[in-house]
């Protein structure tokens, strides 16, 4: 069996506490055809020392200043040569050592694969599932009520991708996934956990700006009036979730 090449791209800047967990989760994969790309933003806190400890696992390493998260992601995407790409940012992990093997040891040859995500805290403890439930079937309209597939849990054929739009500082990943999904013909739900997502990232730290960007992105793709209605549904679901479960962590 010919295993498709999977380009995993990790971006990091001054995250010595968490980067080792991400690197280790790639290093222990049983899948035989991984291209691992690490883009570091010229870290000064010891991050590069941790990265060097996994140099045999990393195929391409770049350490230089960038213009932000999505500029760094674009650098990684431009260097990727795999059939599929996955962005696994610093602090996040592949769910288990057999994750990639389970996804790609088949003959589906889908345009997109996606799966479930567990949330983890700074102590690396699993704290639950995301508030947005992963849809049974996914297409470019599936985000209209929120980003229900985590960026770390979606594998996209590289031929369907294009650079991230740098006008968005916190939510360009939503725009990027929608654009790729518009081109996809076959999308496969692997119906398994594929990623662990570290809560408390930049989009949570700058939550209002992130929400404004998401609103503009959804309006662009789904239309002004439908987007207003959809956000009413989003607000109602959020209130019901908080009444039942308390404040969300994702």
What sign does the dihedral 46-77-138-229 (CA atoms) show?
Answer: positive
Cross-strand bridge partners of residue 9: 37, 87
Q: Are 86 and 163 in contact (CB under 8 A)?
A: no
Which of 74, 10, 79, 13 minimizes the C-alpha distance to 48? Answer: 13
Under 8 Å between Cβ of 131 and 241? yes
| Cα gap 49→199, rounded to integer Å | 24
Angle, to 10 degrees, between the axis of helix 224-245 and the axis of helix 207-222?
140
189-198 pLDDT per residue, tens: 999 999 999 9
Give the whole-number percent of the chain exceeding pLDDT 90: 75
List pLDDT tens digits, range 129-188: 887 789 999 999 999 888 889 999 999 999 999 999 999 999 999 999 999 999 999 999
Instruction: pLDDT band for 203, please (50, 70, 90 cuts).
Output: very low
Q: CA–CA distance from 195 to each of 58, 66, 216, 239 (Å)?
A: 19, 26, 27, 27
Q: Which CA distances in Å does 188 have to 45, 132, 175, 194?
A: 40, 18, 20, 13
pLDDT digits (tens, 9 = 90+) for 19-42: 999 999 999 999 999 999 999 999
């Amino acid at each position: 069996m010919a295993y498709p090449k999977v380009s995993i791209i990790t971006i990091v800047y001054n995250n010595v506490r968490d980067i080792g967990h991400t690197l280790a989760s790639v290093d222990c994969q049983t899948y035989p055809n991984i291209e691992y790309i690490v883009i570091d933003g010229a870290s000064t806190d010891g991050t590069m020392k941790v990265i060097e400890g996994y140099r045999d696992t990393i195929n391409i390493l770049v350490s230089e200043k960038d213009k932000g998260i999505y500029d760094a992601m674009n650098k990684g995407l431009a260097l990727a040569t795999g059939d599929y790409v996955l962005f696994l940012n610093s602090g996040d992990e592949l769910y288990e050592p057999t994750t990639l093997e389970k996804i790609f040891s088949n003959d589906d040859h889908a345009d997109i694969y996606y799966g479930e995500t567990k949330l983890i805290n700074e102590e690396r403890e699993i704290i639950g599932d995301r508030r947005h439930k992963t849809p049974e079937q996914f297409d470019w309209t599936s985000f209209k009520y929120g980003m229900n597939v985590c960026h770390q849990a979606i594998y996209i054929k590289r031929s369907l991708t294009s650079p991230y739009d740098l006008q968005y500082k916190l939510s360009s990943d939503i725009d990027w996934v929608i654009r790729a999904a518009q081109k996809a013909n076959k999308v496969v739900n692997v119906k398994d956990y594929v990623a662990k997502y570290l809560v408390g990232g930049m989009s949570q730290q700058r939550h209002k700006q992130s929400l404004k960007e998401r609103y503009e992105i959804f309006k662009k793709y789904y239309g002004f009036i439908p987007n207003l209605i959809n956000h009413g549904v989003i607000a109602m679901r959020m209130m019901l979730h908080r009444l039942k479960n308390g404040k969300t962590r994702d």
